[in-house]
Structure 1
Amino acid sequence: MSLFRSHCCQALACALSVVLAPAGLAAQDDPPPQIDAAGRPAKIPVAAFADWLVLDGARLSETGRRIAIGGNSDGHQMIRIYDADTLELKQVIDGGDSDDFNWFRWAGDDRLLLSVMRQTENANYWARMSRLLVYDMVTGKMSYAGLKKAAVDGDTVVYVDPAGEYVLLNYQNQARYEAEVWRVPLDGTAMERSERVVDNQGGVQFWFADSDGVVRLGMGRTSRGSVVVLYRGGPGEEFERVTKIARDDEDTIENWDVIGLQPGSDIGYTLQPTEDGREILREFNYRTATAGPVVYEDDKWSVEGVRLDDDGKPVAVNIRDDRLRQVWLDKDMGAVQDSLSQALGGRSVRIISNADRRRMLVLQTGPDDPGALYVFTPAEKRLAFLANLRPDIDFRLLSRGTAHDIATRDGLAMRSYLTLPRGRGKTGLPLIVMPHGGPFGIRDDLEYNDWVQLFANRGYAVLQPNFRGSGGFGSDFEEAGDGEIGRKMQDDLDDATRWAVAQGYADPARVCVVGASYGGYAALWAVIRNPELYRCAASWAGVTDWDAILLYDSEALTRRAYTEKWKPKVRGKDSGFDLSKVSPMAQLGRLTRPVFLGQGKDDTRVPYSQYYRLVEKAERMGIELDTLMLEDGHTPVREGNHEKLLDAMVAFLERHNPPD
């Protein structure tokens, strides 16, 4: 089913334009959208929102001959390989269980690298270990790309040979957490022919190479937590210590965000925080440890990512205001992106992969448009349609969200997003408050969201508050969430709800909370803590017991990740706070509202025990819950499971908070 997309766009003469209807617009021979006289769209089947396909992860091979697109099929991570000239599907690679899959990237044109997780246990410990695999397009074989006795982190790639012959891996000795660099061949002989190219230099845990593959910089922590940096100007030099930074000097440590080491130069780049918490792109001299001129900054938003050319110089940055924007520092590429946007009807586009300007992958999306992927060949001025993210959704039936700054009771501003159902007016609506997961450093924006669009299509207004602790709004706002789980972070959700009521958007008697992961916790806690505000709650994979999850995480996470990052975020400075006061498990007796509770039995992030212990306790207390257990992980990716979850949530909401 090819809903309202151009299947082939041809450029005319010297200007890029389209002959057929551009993406995001209906062609003349398409049927009109199914919208009734009141302006209400037809119900889109739940199944249309349920597939997992990641177009923005699509990548071109080194010269642009091949395209790789990741997606999920019955709980397995599948990577589809297309011929970039004919757009013909050539191969499908099974990357294993989706919960165990991390990432993929090309090595040359004929090999694909895959990072996966493996569980290892012996008499003394168990651990989930990352491993690097390589798939050979010519032979069709998958092989291990690592050492026989690899570390827990076996996928830390320092450099990828453009020809795809080898990679440089950061190999960390787990006894002393000190790293070496190994040259690992990608022809299936890694365990026999790998060779060490940089020995441990004393305390270094992470190495960095320049764009020629010469290892130039190493960083690590001493036993007392200080950061040390070793550097050399080229392959003929010895490594020298250029700085030692005290563990509490976070401002200086954050300057060492190593980006773009260039051959024959001490100048690279770093993302440096400003006083108001924004990150800006600056030059950085790695030999003298000093920051140079600003390369790019936005006066309000952080630089989230940097794209480098083959020489290690920045050519584009990513900024996320209400949507992800790609800003080209290369004016010629910026003009190309603008032309592509015009060719696609003025819709928002990003060039997500670029094979030396010979071929580009173009992603077109919108808040009310799931998106489509195109292949642009500049020499032929040809823009060809490749794939829809949601091929069974008529995007003309979707709703466009709007951005709002909502004040918290203590004077902060939450950037939040409100999506109204079409054809139902703008007042007195049933409202779904939908907090994001994470919670720290994560944020919502106006990019397309399956759950938002499904609920809006069913007649609900949907509010996504970026409560304190969310990322992208400066370090002060994120750190304001430390130790505030279930407290001020929950106050923010209540303040957002009261705002929607005060503005007239929401009927105060018809507000429910829906979320997954941390958002699932926040939904469940909302109806226990503030039943006067909320009519019901739907939670998927939500934390129910914070003491238990911290104990679990202390074993599941690395010691440093747990003690330096996660535990301080949850507990904050008030380490003596009794977390049972904000845990649904301990406070279940206060529940008086309907609750839907769902969980994956194989979840390794929020373990199944968080779910079944609450269900058992509710049964003992005579508290009725709507429940759904799926044979799946933290994200429901196995065949039909996401659809089952969405069906159950929609049915629960329509029963306890009907839209009509």
Structure 2
Amino acid sequence: MHIRFSRVGAAVLRYAFVLHLSLLAAASSSAGEQPVPIAAFFGNVSMSNARLSPDGKRLAMLVNNEQGHDQLGVVTLADKSIKVVAGFSNADVGHFEWVNNERLLYDSRDKNTAPGEERYAPGLFAVNIDGGVRRQLVEVSGRSFVSSGASSEREKMPWNTFMLDQPGAQDSNWVYVEKVHFGSDHSVEAVELIRLDTVSGRTDPVPEPGQGRARAWWLDAKGRPALATTVDGKLEMLHYLDPKDGRWRKLATQDAYLGGKDAFTPLGFSPEGSLYVVGRPHRDKAAPFVYDLATGKMAARPLVDLEAFDFSGELVVSAGKLLGIRYTADTVGVAWFDPAMKEAQAAVDRLLPGHVNVLSVGLRSETPFVLVRSWSDRQPGVFLLFDRQTGKLSRLGSSRPAIDPARMAAQDLTIVTARDGRTIPTWLTVPNNSAGKKLPMVVLVHGGPYVRGRQWGWDSESQFLASRGYLVLEPEFRGSTGYGEAHFRAGWKQWGLAMQDDIADATRWAIAQGMADPQRICIAGASYGGYATLMGLIRDPDLYKCGIDWVGVTDIELLYTGSWTRDSDTSDAYKRYGMPTLVGDPAKDAAQFAATSPLKQAVRLTQPLLLAYGGADLRVPLYHGRKLFDAVKRSNKDVEWVVYDDEAHGWKLVETRLDFWGRVETFLRKNIGKAGQ
């Protein structure tokens, strides 16, 4: 089946910004009321996940106790009764998944412990839906978590065993887990796949392919091991475990770091055994194809063609058949093959117009219930239950109930043309109740950089800035993924060069449109976005009046050589095989590294600057920020420096997020002011 899609989502959804849903939105705000509190944007989410049981009769979800810890609750959908079946008195339930209709698997986390204080692994536990037959299966290394009920104390698997991010068959007490072996450079050296009985604790190892240690695994639609990858140097090999003879055979070999024209990634198996992969044979945009296991070739035509976007998504399988393919274009959508699900989607979309509505059902559903996760640019995620028999929606919970959608900002995707003619997808978030003319603007640069920046939907950072009166511009500069191979490759070795030009060109476009006040523009970002912030201030001092860099790279050479304060988690293999092509070679490109080093050009950083770093950061260790601050403060007295000692590459703790974004609010007010000032 071939389904062709042009740009979807925002082209339709932008016209539904002002629709008010009594089910989802609070009352409209009145003029002159106080700004939405920072905690509403950056506090911990109230509800983050929910999953239907395989038969669709129950729903597992995280619920808070009086101490604010996340516990695992089970809702019986027939009578809407809820029972808390697992939790910890001094920690939180983390990931969870159904083992079968009567049993759940879960691990632990502590959302109130910073990464620098974490000296433990999450462990693994299982429990029945009535709270019985509780068992700890994997050690919690370095810390004792106190369960809310009695647990078996039989022998446990070692701490480096983790839940597999695939549901499996969900028809017995057995699951598959991963035992991860780490190298001295913090990279993953090997991953063992182990079959685990969640009641007895018995384990059975899965034989690996004969050519090297496995790094990743895929199960088929029946929950059996089917694919594994091994890596030898820079070469990644994909192997298939043929169910006919139980033997591994190699399917393909490709560059593990740079891909290539024949490269592909497994997407999953259909119930009848067909393998689906994501590749880009003779085309710029990646798409899903059927892969012939006998011939080793992809089908001539893709199943879904998004035209303007690389495919990213998942197969939706239930009742022994492929129901559809979920994808992300400008926002999340789905191509339904199943008429009943297509009808359910249409019904939910009529009830919740102007929203992205993601539907899911149990793996072998016996009920009319469909789980719905719904959001828009103004509305954070909300979980609902749709009854296909009655056609009614019932609300389960909201990720951020303190957010009033009526006070949030509209967001859209536009296209900007860079100086060399390359088109740059650019996200705009426009403050609510603003005239949209000559606004103070924050240019928010995404990290990575070789990732996709965002999709259409509510975002805490851009919405917070917009709530304070700032226009927010987020360019998907060259090198960003998700917009085709040519756009990605155009960013290779372009740190501080053409990638930086794209950001500046998008900024000047907003000025030319009359939307941004050229005298009140600040550039900001984390990680690579922090690097781009610093280079923006250096290369375009007339454009940006101030900068905010958190956990940002300050010198490309330090990514290769700097390790004297705290080890970096950038693997030696990536430094050897990936970074020289993507970022640059420290020997061959030494002159370019010097010309694009904020640290070596610190004297040119004369604008007001906010620098924030994590003391436990392994991705961009603290010495990046410390060395820059020491260099900049000699000639720039308007530099604010803050270190969150136990934070890593981003802010995990609520108190850190509230402090940092409070500093951002004060910094912006001082340097570019609020709208109307």
- For the superposition of Structure 1 and Structure 2, which TM-score range results when normalised by the shorter chain? 0.7 to 0.9
Q: What is residue 145 of structure 2 aligned with on the other side?
A: none
SS at match of 2:303: strand
Which moved further from structure 2: 361-370 or 627-636? Answer: 627-636
In 1, the alpha carbon distance for the partners of 2:343 and 2:48 equals: 21
Aligned residues: 618
**Distance between the aligned counterparts of 1:73 and 1:544, measured in 2?**
42
Alignment of 1:302-451 (within 5 A): 302-310=310-318, 314-345=322-353, 347-352=355-360, 354=362, 356-357=364-365, 358=367, 359-379=369-389, 381-451=391-461
User: 284-293 or 107-116, which moves further after superposition?
Assistant: 107-116
Distance 1:188 1:633, change over 3 A: farther
1:53 matched residue in structure 2: 45
CA distance in 2, matches of 1:568, 1:197: 36
Asked whether the 8 Å contact 2:197–2:203 carries over to 1, the reply is yes
Q: Normalising to structure 2: TM-score of the pair?
A: 0.80
CA offsets, 1:309-348, max 9 Å, x none? Answer: 1477542223333222233232321210110121235533
For 1:549, the equivalent position in structure 2 comes to 559
How far has the Cα of 1:136 moved from its partner? 2.3
Contact 2:430 2:471 (8 Å CA) reproduced: yes
Q: CA deviation at 1:24?
A: 4.5
Structure 2 contact 568–618 (Cα < 8 Å) conserved? no
Tell me the SS of whatever aligns to 1:634. coil
Give ranges in structure 2 of 5+ residues lacking alignment: 1-17, 111-117, 141-154
**1:497 corresponds to:** 507
Superposed CA offset, 1:83-140 (max 9, x none): 2532646256469999xx99543322422244889xxxxxxxxx99987623425345
The corresponding residue for 1:570 is 583
Shift of 1:491: 0.8
Q: Which moved more, 1:575-584 or 1:101-110?
A: 101-110
Conserved 8 A contact 2:606-2:636 = no
Query: Which residue type is aligned with residue 282 of structure 2?
Result: E
SS across alignment from 2:445: coil
CA distance in 2, matches of 1:532, 1:460: 19
Post-superposition shift, 1:563? 3.1
2:654 to 639, 642, 646: 639
* Aligned counterpart in structure 2 of residue 560 of structure 1, from 554, 562, 573: 573
- Give 1:429 shift: 1.4
Deviation at 1:400, TM superposition (A): 0.7
1:437-491 deviations in Å (ceiling 9; x for gaps): 2211222232111221222222111111111111110011012111111111111
Relative to structure 1, the CA distance from residue 496 to residue 572 in structure 2 (aligned partners, 3 Å threshold; closer, same or farther) is farther
Contact residue 239 and residue 248 of structure 2 kept, 8 A: no
C-alpha distance in 2 between matches for 1:29 and 1:237: 54
Note closer, same or farther for the CA distance 1:510–1:95 as it changes in structure 2 (3 Å cut). farther
How far residue 585 of structure 1 moved from its aligned partner, in angstroms, is 2.2
Q: 1:655 offset after TM fit, Å?
A: 0.8
Distance in 1 (CA, whole Å) between partners of 2:228 and 2:479 is 31
Aligned: 1:294 with 2:302 = yes
Work out whether residues 260 and 308 of structure 1, in 8 Å CA contact, stay in contact via their aligned partners in 2: no
Whether 1:203 aligns to 2:212 is: yes
Instruction: Give me the whole-angstrom Cα distance separating, in 2, the residues matched to 1:412 and 1:420.
Output: 24
Deviation per CA, 1:287-309: give whole Å up to 9, x if none. Answer: 22122353222333332112231
Of the structure 1 ranges 69-78 and 287-296, higher mean CA displacement relative to structure 2 is found in 69-78
For the structure 1 residues 430 and 562, does the alpha-carbon distance in structure 2 shift closer, same or farther, using more than 3 Å as the test?
Answer: same
Note the 1:25-174 alignment, pairs <5 A.
25-26=21-22, 31-35=27-31, 43-53=35-45, 57-69=49-61, 78=70, 80-85=72-77, 86=80, 88=82, 90=84, 93=87, 103-109=95-101, 110-114=103-107, 133-137=124-128, 138-139=131-132, 140-144=134-138, 160-163=168-171, 165-169=173-177
Distance of 1:612 and 1:246 partners within structure 2: 36
Q: Which residue of 2 aligns with 1:187?
A: 199
> Do the aligned partners of 1:600 and 1:633 also contact (CA within 8 Å) in 2?
yes
Instruction: Calculate the aligned-residue CA RMSD, in Å.
Output: 3.9
Corresponding residue for residue 653 of structure 1 = 668
Q: Which moved more, 1:176-185 or 1:407-416?
A: 176-185
1:589 and 2:603 are equivalent in the alignment: yes
Residues 606, 634 of structure 1: 8 Å contact kept: yes
- Give matches, 1:464-475, under 5 Å: 464-475=474-485
Cα distance between partner residues in 2 of 1:567 and 1:305: 29
CA gap 1:438/1:103 in 2 versus in 1, 3 angstroms = farther
Alpha-carbon shift at residue 241 of structure 1 (Å) = 4.6
CA distance in 2 between counterparts of 1:443 and 1:73 reads 34
Q: Tell me whether 451-460 or 165-174 shows the greater mean CA deviation.
A: 165-174
Q: Quick one: distance in 2 between partners of 1:437 and 1:102?
A: 25
**SS of corresponding position for 1:494:** helix
Cα pair 1:433 1:462 within 8 Å, conserved? yes
Report how far residue 518 of structure 1 moved: 2.0
Stretches of structure 1 that go unaligned for 5 or more consecutive residues are 1-21, 118-126
Which amino acid is 1:326 matched to?
V
The aligned amino acid for 1:528 is I
Q: 1:354 to 1:240 in 2, by over 3 A?
A: closer
**Percent sequence identity over matched residues?**
23
Could you tell me how far 1:184 is from its partner in structure 2?
2.0
Q: How many angstroms does 1:46 deviate by?
A: 1.8
Native 8 Å contact 1:229 1:243 kept in 2: yes
Match of 2:517 among 473, 492, 507: 507
The CA deviation string for residues 576-611 of structure 1, in whole angstroms up to 9 with x for no partner, is 444243232222111111011122333333222222
Q: Partner letter of residue 623 of structure 1?
A: K
User: Would you say the 8 A contact 1:57–1:70 is kept in 2?
Assistant: yes
User: Which residue identity lines up with residue 294 of structure 2 in the other structure?
Assistant: R
Moved more, 105-114 or 400-409: 105-114
Q: Which letter does structure 1 place at the counterpart of 2:531?
A: Y
Note if contact 1:73-1:637 (Cα within 8 Å) is conserved in structure 2: no
Which residue number corresponds to residue 123 of structure 1? Answer: none
Q: Report if the CA contact (8 A) 1:53-1:389 is conserved.
A: yes
Asked whether the equivalents of residues 175 and 195 of structure 2 are also in contact (C-alpha less than 8 Å), the reply is: yes
Structure-2 separation of matches of 1:217 and 1:562: 27
Check whether the contact 1:315–1:329 (CA below 8 A) recurs between aligned residues. Answer: yes
Counterpart of 1:563 in structure 2: which amino acid?
R
Residue in structure 2 matched with residue 9 of structure 1 by the alignment: none
Residue 71 of structure 1 and its aligned partner are, at CA, apart by 9.4
TM-score normalized with structure 1 length = 0.82
- Structure 1 residues 287 and 626 mapped into 2: Cα distance closer, same or farther (>3 Å)? same
Matches within 5 A, 1:254-293: 254-255=263-264, 257=266, 259-260=268-269, 262=271, 265=273, 267-292=274-299
Q: Residue type matched to 1:112 in 2?
A: L
1:159–1:322 Cα change, 3 Å: closer
